Amino acid sequence: MKEFQTKKKYGQNFLTDKNLLSAICSDADICKDDEVLEIGAGLGALTEILSNNAKKVVSFEIDKDLVEPLKAINLSNVEFIFDDILKWNNDEIEKKFVGDYKIVANLPYYITTPIIFKFLGKSKRIKSMTIMVQKEVALRMVAKKGDSDYGILSASIACLGEATTTRNVGRKMFSPPPKVDSAVVKIDINKPFELQEIDKQFEFIRKIFAMRRKTILNNLSMGYKINRQELQSVFNIDELSKRAEDFSTEEIINMYYRFSALMKK
C-alpha cells in the first residue's frame, strides 16, 4: 500500500511507538471486560492495542481515505464508523455498547474541547475518558484552586470526577510532529451527578469565570440579569466579593446548588 498522506485539517498526528500505545491503554485501565469508544482511529495503531485488551471497541474516523487501511487490519472485535463523531447523537453512539464504556483517544486537537463537552456529564454509562491532548489543555484540565490554569475546564471536569495527567508526551513521538507537546489525561467519572443539572452547572461555571478579574457578584448579576438583593439571599457578602478562582470546585458546586434553588423560586 502506498504511504498515507496525513491531513492537517483533521488533526492527523499519528502515534507509532508500541510502548507508548500500550502505556496509554494501561493508563486507561482497559481490561478484557471493557467496551471502549475510540475517537479518531487514524491508521489504527491505538485501535489495535485496544482491540487486544478490551472486549469490544467502537472507533470513529472522519477520513474516508482511511477506510481501506483500517479494514485491512482485520480486527474482529472492532466496529469502525467512518463519520464525524460530532454529528452523531450520543444515544445513537451508546446503542453500540451493551453496558458501561470507557473513552480512549489521541484526540484531533482542533476539536478537543467540543469533544470533551460532548461526553462530559452526558451519560452515566461513561466510566472514564483517557485522552491525549495538548499539554496546555492538560494543565487546564487538571488544575486546582490556586493554579494559574484553574478555570472553566478544570471546574467543569471536577463536577464529574478526578482528572490526572498520566504521562507527558513530546511532540517527536508523533508523525508528523505537531507544533506543541502533549499529555495524556485520565478523567475518572466517579462523583455522583444529576444528568438534568449538569448543563446548568456548566453554564453557572462559565458565567462565574466569564470575566476573571470581576467578582462573583459582578459576573452573576451580569450573566443572569439578577440583582444584588436576590443574590444576597443565598450568598454571603464575603462570597459575593470574591472571584471564581478563589473557590475550590467543591465550593463552586455548593454555590451552584444554592443559586439554582434561588432560580427555581
Q: Which residues bind ligand SAM (CB under 6 A)?
A: 10-15, 39-42, 45-46, 60-63, 84-86, 106, 108, 111
Instruction: Kindly state the smallest distance separating residue 182's Cβ from ligand SAM, in Å.
Output: 9
Nearer to ligand SAM, 63 or 239 (CB): 63
Which residues are within 8 A (CB) of 205 and not within 5 positions of it... i.e. 6 or more apart? 152, 155, 156, 159, 244, 252, 256
Pick between residue 99 and residue 114 the one whose CB is nearest to ligand SAM. Answer: 114
CB of 48 to ligand SAM, least distance (A): 10
Toward ligand SAM, which CB reaches closer, 65 or 194?
65
Nearer to ligand SAM, 41 or 157 (CB): 41
User: Residue 35 Cβ, how far from ligand SAM at the closest point, in Å?
Assistant: 18
Helix (H, G, I), strand (E, B) or coil at 35: strand
CB of 121 to ligand SAM, least distance (A): 20
Answer positive or negative: Cα dihedral of 97, 101, 106, 112. positive
Alpha-carbon torsion (251, 252, 256, 258), positive or negative = positive
The residue among 45 and 155 lying less far from ligand SAM, judged by its C-beta, is 45
Q: Kindly give the pairing relationship between strand 56-60 and strand 161-169.
A: unpaired
CB of 169 to ligand SAM, least distance (A): 11
Give the residue at shortest CB distance from ligand SAM: 40
Residue 176: cis peptide before it, omega within 30 degrees of 0: yes
Measured CA to CA, the distance from residue 69 to residue 3 in angstroms comes to 10
The span from the CA of 169 to the CA of 64, in Å, is 28
